[in-house]
Amino acid sequence: MKRATAWGFCLLFAGSACLAVDEAADERYRNLLYELRCLVCQNQSLADSDAELAGDLRRRVQDLIDQGMSDKEIIAHLQARYGDFILYRPPLAWRTAALWASPFVLLALTAWLLLRRIRRGHARASGSLSDVERERLKDVLKRGSD
Amino acid sequence: MIRGWLAVAVFAGLVAMLAFGLTRDPSRVSSPLIGLPVPAFQAERLASADEHFDSTALRGEWSLLNVWASWCTTCLEEHELLMRLSQQLALYGINHRDTRDEARNWLQVYGNPYRASAFDEYGEVGIELGVYKVPETFLLDPDGVIRYKHVGALDEEAYQEQILARIREGRP
Amino acid sequence: MIPELGHFALVLACVLAGLQAFLPGWGTQRGNPTWMRSASSLALGQGLLVLLAYLALTWAFIEHDFSVRYVANNSNTELPLAYRISGVWGGHEGSLLLWSLVLSGWTVAVVALSRRLPMLFRARVLAVLGFVSLGFLAFMLATSNPFDRLIPAAMQGRDLNPLLQDPGLVIHPPMLYMGYVGFAVAFAFAIAALWGGQLHAAWARWTRPWVTAAWMFLTLGIGLGSWWAYHELGWGGWWFWDPVENASFMPWLVGTALIHSLAVTEKRNTFKRWTVLLALLAFSLSLLGTFLVRSGVLVSVHAFANDPARGVYILGFLALVVGGGLILYAMRAHRIESSGHFELLSRETLLLFNNVFLLIATFAILLGTLYPLIVDVLGLPSMSVGPPYFNLVFLPLMLPLLFLAAVGPVSRWKKTRARELLRRLQVPLVLALAIGTAVPWAAFGSTSALVLAGTMLGVWCISGPLVALWRQFSRMRRGTSAGYSLRHLPRHMVGMTCAHAGLGVIALGIAFTTAFSMERELVMNEGDSVAFAEHEFVFRGVQEVDGPNYRAQQGHLSVYRDGEPIVDLRPEKRTYLVQSSPMTEAAIYSTVWRDVYAALGVAQPGGGWGVRLYVKPFIQWLWGGALLMAFGGLLALSDRRYRYRRKRRRT
């Protein structure tokens, strides 16, 4: 029974860890539009915006799909003209490394430090814990500002 | 308590960054085309559907490529300056999402600073140039490379500091 | 005349706030009890004056006094009464006045409910609150006076932004501000503790109800905001990761972390410095949010008229308050000693990791919100950080949190055994696995990893705390009747169960609505019908309708399910007469299991109308879950510990 329960936990976690993104082929156009930011109404995606430019760009996306371009190629096409700004999903690059990686690096680091501290001293006395915490805040603020 | 003070310092950095942010317009989008040759496009000329406007011909001298429209009220603000500049610089227009009649009429009423205008009825050329807010003005060097892009109405200050300065720099 | 009275009241309130900020504080330094006691009367006087100013502005709105610039900009003779009253906070100046009113309200509540606090501590708390209030009142008077006259008076007002003319917006900002501003109390408690250089065991117990109350309001406010966006924006979405939403979400996440760490500090006398820091952080993020929304440093849906002077002022104030708080923390935190030992597997560790995930999620949101600005500072090309980033980063941080939400409540302080945890979690585990796999399959005929994870963790997160509550109930029942035990279950525990269950309900809602929502965008002519997502929609045409201050084209769609008519939807395309911007008023038929949502687009040149149709399963669970969470907060507030204190006070 114990083993079964343990397996259950693994399943529960495995199920939650991997996130499959199902994309039906007919939804390509719409999905692409939701990933693209309108440059006129800058808080709307191309799918939502009523601006004329959004209409032009929707037509361009449709044309490119009809020409048989892949999603990647279409995104590159627009990125070449409007830059990263048009992409709601920041591209993976050096200039976005801090954006994508730091939350997870920070998580790993904090978890490791905390677990080490707790295991070592059973959080013996006062300072140890909050020192780690302050360390973390320092990192949080530092990364927020550089 | 060095760590506590570090937190204070980091917060100061955050405040400095936000203060810098106050001086910027967040809706301004930088163009990825700066430093690249002007995209190749062909379009009809505004003056006549039979003639072609070819972007690859925009070389040999410094030139300005100005995106304009008859419905664009901001364009009127820069028009006087453009008229003046047309005496000194090669000035080309891209007539964005307009009708031929209205655009020609507009030029007749306010004057035509352009050596030629491309007629971009459906905004196709606009997309090639990454246009998002008419008027926009591109500065092209003699090799046809885009050196600078100005979004919104061009004014004397921007002309002096951004455009003229670059042209002077380019001609040592 | 009345606007002048309002203005005068505001000036007086500002003076009193100044006195409240310095007199009691000075009194604590000098040991002068009269000065210390003056805080209460100053706070009451200030509250009364701000209320007066607020009523004066409301009066100007109700009476259409267009000689007041703010009223002329945000109202109109045709504007219905309810929106004239809510129009008071429809723009920058008035919403600041609401901010100040809410802050005064919290301050008066502190005066009324904390008579038993030590005099020194209480004077310091009220001084800090007075200082914050001073900052905002002075800001209002200096840059954003809502009582500014317009001479000559306008004949007609420019009307309230049509986006704000919605019932959701009538109660959303007050709730949100109650939350945001409520964290000022926790902030003041933290500063007062640092100021005194000691944090005794009772501090956490004093602070807890204030944090819970603010958190409850913020939960309601955010929920209402999301509900409003869903109704009013016409895109069927409920969360956009807009900077404004992020600005309210970050304090919520930190506030949630604070609630949990306060529990540890109260029960186990540990995590003290961390808790104090969180209390500082929650309100700091509220202030940061205020700055982000009102300064124009970021592009956002919420376009308060931007004036650089305002941005500079708020930033300066932010630097002063947060910077001052952090400096004080840096100077004094080492004096605060924690005790209490715990092992690796203990409730303390679990709560610690709750804090880790919440704080890292906050950090990710802050980073994503500010990254375009950072990039600009570094001179790199402009970029956007949109929903795909936030979803991708936020989700992996929330899944473990959901997992912990069931483990924490069944664990023990200090030390808990893995075997015991496993035994107590058997039922939730079985339920999660069974329901998580069976329901998506049975209801929608398909499933994906996301749905699987969302459903399982949702059920897990609902059932885990319930098991803990059930154990408590059974223990109590041994001696007494079931009814008695039920009534006397510890309220904080019932509240916690409710809040965690609410989180689970939200998880279920998100999983199902994200995975199984159907959307159609099409052109329909009169008489056309379309079938999708088990519904049939018949388009009956469009007619003109006149509202009090708008004209609308109202579409008419009959909806059938299994051949039975279920509802007639009438989505509108409104044109408000004054601001003449077209507004989409979606028509929504909500049930527990799904929403049927229709929005009218534009008339097509070739005839027919653009129509957007959505069927969104389980979407109401989102707001149901948020309500449940807030209700949990309310239950925790009604806990006997707090009531006892009040009773004792009366005697």
- Count of alpha carbons within 13 angstroms of residue C429, beta-carbon side: 19
Q: Is the pLDDT of residue C392 over 50?
A: yes
How far apart CA C585 and CA C545 sit, in angstroms, is: 13
pLDDT > 70 in chain C, percent: 97
- Please tell me which of the candidates C298, C312, C326 has its beta carbon nearest to residue B8: C326
Angle at C322 between CA C316 and CA C325, to 5 degrees: 135
One-letter-per-residue 3-state SS of A90-104: CCCCHHHHHHHHHHH
CB C368 within 8 A of CB C385: yes
Domain locations in chain B? 27-170
Question: What average pLDDT score do residues C345-373 get?
Answer: 94
- How many other C-beta atoms can be found within 10 angstroms of the C-beta atom of residue C309? 11
Q: Is the pLDDT of residue C651 over 50?
A: no
Mean pLDDT of chain C: 90
Say yes or no for a CB contact (<8 Å) between C330 and B8.
yes
* Residue that has been written with the tokens 């799918």 in this structure: A47
What is the value of pTM for the model shown?
Answer: 0.91
Say yes or no for a CB contact (<8 Å) between A82 and B3.
no
How far apart CA A60 and CA A58 sit, in angstroms, is: 5
Residue C558 contacts A where some CB pair is shorter than 8 Å: no
Nearest to B46 by CA among B110, B109, B111, B115: B115
Say yes or no for a CB contact (<8 Å) between B1 and C312.
no
- Please tell me which of the candidates A11, A83, A119 has its beta carbon nearest to residue C344: A119
Across A2-11, B64-73, C343-352, least confident range: A2-11
Q: Could you read off the pLDDT of C364-390 as tens digits, one per residue?
A: 999 999 999 999 889 899 999 999 999
Instruction: Please give the radius of gyration of chain A, using alpha carbons only, rounded to the nearest integer.
Output: 23
Nearest to C507 by CA among C572, C584, C583, C450: C450
User: How near does any CA of chain B get to the CA of C135, in Å?
Assistant: 17
Q: Where does residue A77 rank: exposed (0-12), middle (13-18), buried (19+ CB within 10 A)?
A: middle
Q: Is the pLDDT of residue A82 over 80?
A: yes
CB C185 within 8 A of CB C243: no
Task: Using CA atoms of A143, A144, A146, B1 in order, give the dihedral in degrees to the nearest 10.
Answer: -60
Q: Is the pLDDT of residue C394 over 80?
A: yes
Q: Could you read off the pLDDT of C290-327 as tens digits, one per residue?
A: 998 888 788 776 556 567 788 899 999 999 999 999 99
Contact residues for C651 (Cβ-Cβ < 8 A; gap 6+): none
Per-residue pLDDT at A44: 85
Size of interface B-C (CB pairs under 8 A): 67
**Residue C362, Cα to own-chain centre: how many angstroms?**
14
Say yes or no for a CB contact (<8 Å) between C383 and A19.
no
Residue B8 contacts A where some CB pair is shorter than 8 Å: no
How far apart CA B168 and CA A101 sit, in angstroms, is: 43
Question: What average pLDDT score do residues B53-79 get?
Answer: 92
Say yes or no for a CB contact (<8 Å) between C384 and A107.
no
**Residue C535, Cα to own-chain centre: how many angstroms?**
35
Q: Is the pLDDT of residue A126 over 50?
A: no
Confidence class for position A132, pLDDT limits 50, 70, 90: low
Q: Is the pLDDT of residue A25 over 60?
A: no
> Looking at chain C, which residue has its C-alpha nearest residue B34?
C381
How far apart CA C211 and CA B77 sit, in angstroms, is: 54
The residues in B 12-31 lying below 8 A from A, measured between CB atoms, are 13-14, 16-17, 27, 29-31
Helix C308-332 × helix B2-22 angle, to 10°: 180
Q: Is the pLDDT of residue C23 over 50?
A: yes
The residues in C 334-363 lying below 8 A from A, measured between CB atoms, are 334, 336-344, 348-349, 352-353, 356-357, 359-361, 363
Exposure letters C133-151 (e unless 16+ CB within 10 A, then b): bbbbbebbbebbbbbebee
3-state helix, strand, coil in chain B (%, to 5): 40, 20, 40
Contact residues for C418 (Cβ-Cβ < 8 A; gap 6+): C345
Contact residues for C483 (Cβ-Cβ < 8 A; gap 6+): none
3 state SS of C63: coil
Instruction: Please give the radius of gyration of chain B, using alpha carbons only, rounded to the nearest integer.
Output: 20
Contacts of C370 in chain B (CB under 8 A): 17
User: How near does any CA of chain A get to the CA of C444, in Å?
Assistant: 15
Mean pLDDT of chain A: 75
Across B54-58, C211-215, C245-249, C346-350, least confident range: B54-58
Residue C297 contacts A where some CB pair is shorter than 8 Å: no
CB C296 within 8 A of CB C306: yes
Per-residue pLDDT at A14: 45
**Strands B90-96 and B63-68: what pairing?**
parallel
Hey, which chains touch C, using 3+ CB pairs under 8 Å?
A, B
Counting DSSP H helices and E strands in chain C, the numbers are: 20, 10
Confidence class for position A121, pLDDT limits 50, 70, 90: low
Q: Is the pLDDT of residue C447 over 90?
A: no
How far apart CA A3 and CA A26 sit, in angstroms, is: 44
Per-residue pLDDT at A49: 82
Contacts of A141 in chain B (CB under 8 A): 7, 10-11, 13-14
Contact residues for C474 (Cβ-Cβ < 8 A; gap 6+): none
Question: What average pLDDT score do residues C521-527 get?
Answer: 90
Per-residue pLDDT at C603: 86
Per-residue pLDDT at C581: 76
Confidence class for position A13, pLDDT limits 50, 70, 90: very low
Q: Is the pLDDT of residue A20 over 70?
A: no
Q: Could you read off the pLDDT of C77-109 as tens digits, one per residue?
A: 989 999 999 999 988 999 999 999 999 999 999
Size of interface A-B (CB pairs under 8 A): 69
Contacts of A71 in chain C (CB under 8 A): none
Per-residue pLDDT at C639: 84
Per-residue pLDDT at A18: 35
Residue A5 contacts C where some CB pair is shorter than 8 Å: yes
Q: Is the pLDDT of residue C569 over 50?
A: yes
Residue C429 contacts A where some CB pair is shorter than 8 Å: yes
How far apart CA B76 and CA C491 sit, in angstroms, is: 68
Say yes or no for a CB contact (<8 Å) between A99 and C367.
yes
Give the residues across from C149 on adjacent strands: C68
How far apart CA C358 and CA C256 sit, in angstroms, is: 8
Contacts of A82 in chain B (CB under 8 A): 29, 31-32, 130, 132
Confidence class for position C478, pLDDT limits 50, 70, 90: confident
Q: Bigger pLDDT: C231 or A141? A: C231
Residue C548 contacts A where some CB pair is shorter than 8 Å: no
Q: Is CATH 1.10.8.640 correct for A1-91?
A: yes
How far apart CA B97 and CA B75 sit, in angstroms, is: 14
Per-residue pLDDT at A140: 60
Contact residues for C384 (Cβ-Cβ < 8 A; gap 6+): A37, A84, A85, A86, A87, A88, A90, C372
Q: Is the pLDDT of residue A16 over 80?
A: no
Fold adopted by B27-170: Glutaredoxin (3.40.30)
Question: What average pLDDT score do residues B25-52 get?
Answer: 90
Q: Could you read off the pLDDT of C492-507 as tens digits, one per residue?
A: 999 999 999 999 999 9
Say yes or no for a CB contact (<8 Å) between A39 and B122.
no
- Please tell me which of the candidates A56, A85, A141 has its beta carbon nearest to residue B14: A141
Q: Could you read off the pLDDT of C138-197 as tens digits, one per residue?
A: 999 999 999 999 988 888 888 888 888 888 778 899 999 999 999 999 999 999 999 988
Q: Could you read off the pLDDT of C401-441 as tens digits, one per residue?
A: 999 999 999 998 988 888 989 999 999 999 999 988 888 88
- Please tell me which of the candidates C270, C366, C450 has its beta carbon nearest to residue A19: C450
Residue B34 contacts C where some CB pair is shorter than 8 Å: no
Question: What average pLDDT score do residues C196-223 get?
Answer: 92
Q: Bigger pLDDT: C411 or C233? A: C411
Q: Where are the alpha helices (DSSP H) in chain A?
A: 2-17, 28-35, 52-66, 71-82, 97-121, 126-145
Amino acid, single-letter form, for residue C211: V
How far apart CA A90 and CA A112 sit, in angstroms, is: 28
Say yes or no for a CB contact (<8 Å) between A40 and B13.
no
How far apart CA B65 and CA B137 sit, in angstroms, is: 6
Per-residue pLDDT at C329: 93
Domain locations in chain A? 1-91, 93-146
Size of interface A-C (CB pairs under 8 A): 186
Q: Could you read off the pLDDT of C583-619 as tens digits, one per residue?
A: 888 999 999 999 999 999 888 888 889 898 999 999 9
Q: Where does residue A70 rank: exposed (0-12), middle (13-18), buried (19+ CB within 10 A)?
A: exposed
Per-residue pLDDT at C168: 78
Per-residue pLDDT at B102: 94
Q: Could you read off the pLDDT of B115-144 as tens digits, one per residue?
A: 999 999 999 999 999 999 889 999 999 999
